[in-house]
Amino acid sequence: MDWEPLIVSYLFGFVLLNVLLLAMAYMTWLERRLVAFFQDRIGPNRTGPFGLLQPIADAVKLISKEDIVPANADRLVFLVAPLLSFVLAPLGALVVPFGDAVTVFGRQVNLYVIDINVAALYFLAVGSMGVYGIILGGYASGNRYSLLGALRSTAQVISYELVLGLSLVGIFILTGSLSLVDILRVQQRTLVLGGLELPNWFLLSQPLAFVLFLIAAVAETNRAPFDLPEAETELIAGYFTEYSGFRFSFYFLAEYINMIVVSLIAATLFLGGIDGPFVDGVWWLAVKAFIFLFFYVWLRATLPRFRYDQLMGLAWKVLLPLALINIGVTGLVRLWGIGAL
């Protein structure tokens, strides 16, 4: 057996894990700065130039804080749950293609960690496994607010998970593949529409799916305006009420890494990933992912929180039927397109 591609993709994945951690650290800084500007404040600007050392200061502070385990907590589960959340968060990014193959030292190196034929399904599966960390942590805390926060979060994540999964079916119909590399290749073609040359991005052919995916992704990552699990006015801090120190920060890390991973996936599925004007490359993916991340912060600074019944009603009564309609219409158009109708 040839071990070399395995080792190369492992190393690439290892680098990716660390890049994600670094990106996550600066995402917290960016969010605090941006929200501050939205609210006409300055935000953290004292630690280093523009407050750029703030994430490091935060990490040092959190690591040196006491790690409290409440007396009536389920000790083992309480200790392991945040780690579970943190470990599962970056795995979704492994299937994102970061560019075309390049040649390094005379060897062909693929700019993705892995290309599996069920990549999109894998992303959804790994994404939904993160909820285990939340429900186990909330349950094991031995605190009513934690338990309620965990239950809410679980119900929310599984409801929006459906929408997330179903919104992508249209893309699969158009590409005939679940592999993100294949989906990207289809998007790198050119779409000619009435004499106008457009990129073949799925944003243009699947606009409804894009909106559904965007809403579901925000809900899936428990972010405002869908941050019900951590609604301070009702549940204190939700499922991580009892967590302190670095175990608390694992939940925090997981949330931000999830945001980044979802942004990367959304950019790859709908905005053509590395495809762009002039030269294709990872910078286009970074720009597009940044647009999504900025959108996340923008939403948080703009919208008030949903009420819980509104949240569940939106998923089941509006988004789910819309996702099914999108699949039906896409199917019909495709049937007509391939001449089977």
* Near another protein in 247-306, by CB under 8 A: 247, 250
**Binding residue for another protein (CB under 8 A) from 53, 109, 155, 286?**
155
Bridge partners of 192, per DSSP, are 197
Sorted by sequence, the CB contacts under 8 Å of residue 328 that are 6+ apart come out as none
Piece of the chain touching another protein by CB under 8 A; list 45-53, 148-156, 194-202, 207-215: 148-156
CA 267 to CA 261: how far, in whole Å? 10
Helix (H) or strand (E) holding 193: strand 190-193
Smallest gap, in angstroms, from Cβ of residue 71 to another protein? Answer: 4
**Binding residue for another protein (CB under 8 A) from 141, 206, 221, 258?**
141
Sorted by sequence, the CB contacts under 8 Å of residue 266 that are 6+ apart come out as 213, 214, 217, 289, 292
**Binding residue for another protein (CB under 8 A) from 96, 147, 215, 218?**
147
**Binding residue for another protein (CB under 8 A) from 81, 91, 215, 265?**
91
**Binding residue for another protein (CB under 8 A) from 131, 148, 181, 212?**
148
Smallest gap, in angstroms, from Cβ of residue 326 to another protein? Answer: 12
**Binding residue for another protein (CB under 8 A) from 25, 173, 208, 333?**
173
**Binding residue for another protein (CB under 8 A) from 22, 68, 287, 329?**
68
Strand, coil or helix: 109:
strand
Smallest gap, in angstroms, from Cβ of residue 220 to another protein? Answer: 13
CA 279 to CA 85: how far, in whole Å? 37
Alpha carbon separation from 264 to 41, 98, 110 (Å, rounded): 29, 10, 17
Mark 28-37 as b/e (b = at least 16 C-beta within 10 Å): bbbbbbbebe
Smallest gap, in angstroms, from Cβ of residue 174 to another protein? Answer: 8
**Binding residue for another protein (CB under 8 A) from 44, 51, 90, 149?**
90
Cβ-based nearer residue to another protein, 207 or 321: 321
CA 12 to CA 20: how far, in whole Å? 12
**Which of 332, 24, 322, 300 is closest to 164 using CA atoms?**
322
CA 184 to CA 17: how far, in whole Å? 22
Smallest gap, in angstroms, from Cβ of residue 169 to another protein? Answer: 5
- Using CB under 8 A, count the residues that bind another protein: 77
Decide: is 94 part of the binding site for another protein (CB under 8 A): yes
Decide: is 338 part of the binding site for another protein (CB under 8 A): yes
Decide: is 219 part of the binding site for another protein (CB under 8 A): no
